[in-house]
Amino acid sequence: MENFTPVSAAIGGALIGLSAVLLMLSTGRIAGISGIFSGLLNLRGEDKGWRIAFLAGLILAPVIAGLVGYGMATPALPANWIVIIGAGLLVGFGTRLGGGCTSGHGICGVARLSPRSVAATAIFMVTAIVTVAVTHHVLGG
């Protein structure tokens, strides 16, 4: 457990929770990133302003952090483009079919004790852990 960072994890987690609460109190919306993003992918005009504002803030965060000297490292991704594209397709299709991702189900839904969200969170945790076990230990990637 040498990579365990409980203090920064607790501070970061509290901020994520705070953001979800503030979005609900101010605009009445669930801070589910997959839902916020997918709402921008259709041509119908309504209901887009708050989505664009939230995602702009999300993308601006590392830009501002970089300006004050805490630049974000480029994320390490698999070298195989097929894996990146396949994973992106699964995340996109799966979050739409299942109605949410780590934020919408995992934080907002679980906080509201929604049985759907508790089930979804348990399921995507298990399939993600199995996927990592298979790719890292069985296939040795």
**Nearest Cα to 91, choosing from 135, 42, 37, 52?**
37
Site for other proteins in 105-124 (CB under 8 A): 105-112, 114-116, 119-121, 123-124
Nearest-approach distance from CB 9 to other proteins, in angstroms: 4
Instruction: Return the number of other C-beta atoms located less than 10 Å from residue 109's C-beta.
Output: 22
Tokens matching residue 121: 């969170």
Tell which positions 35-54 bind other proteins, by CB under 8 A: 37-38, 41-42, 49-51, 53-54
Q: Which of 43, 44, 48, 87 binds other proteins (CB under 8 A)?
A: 87
**How many whole angstroms separate alpha carbon 24 and alpha carbon 133?**
36
Per-residue tokens: 71: 């630049």
Q: Which residues within the stretch 55-84 sit at the binding site for other proteins (CB under 8 A)? A: 55-65, 70, 72-78, 81, 83-84
CB of 117 to other proteins, least distance (A): 8
The reply to whether 5 sits near other proteins by the rule CB under 8 A is yes
Among 125, 123, 106, CA closest to 114: 106
We find the least distance from the C-beta atom of residue 76 to other proteins, in angstroms, to be 5
Q: Minimum distance between the CB of residue 45 and other proteins, rounded to whole angstroms?
A: 16
Q: Which residue has the tokens 């698999």?
A: 78
* 85 near other proteins, judged by CB under 8 A: yes
In the bound complex, what is the minimum distance in angstroms from residue 56's beta carbon to other proteins?
6
Q: Which pair of tokens denotes residue 132? A: 């990592």
- Torsions phi, psi for 40 (to 5 deg): -95, -5
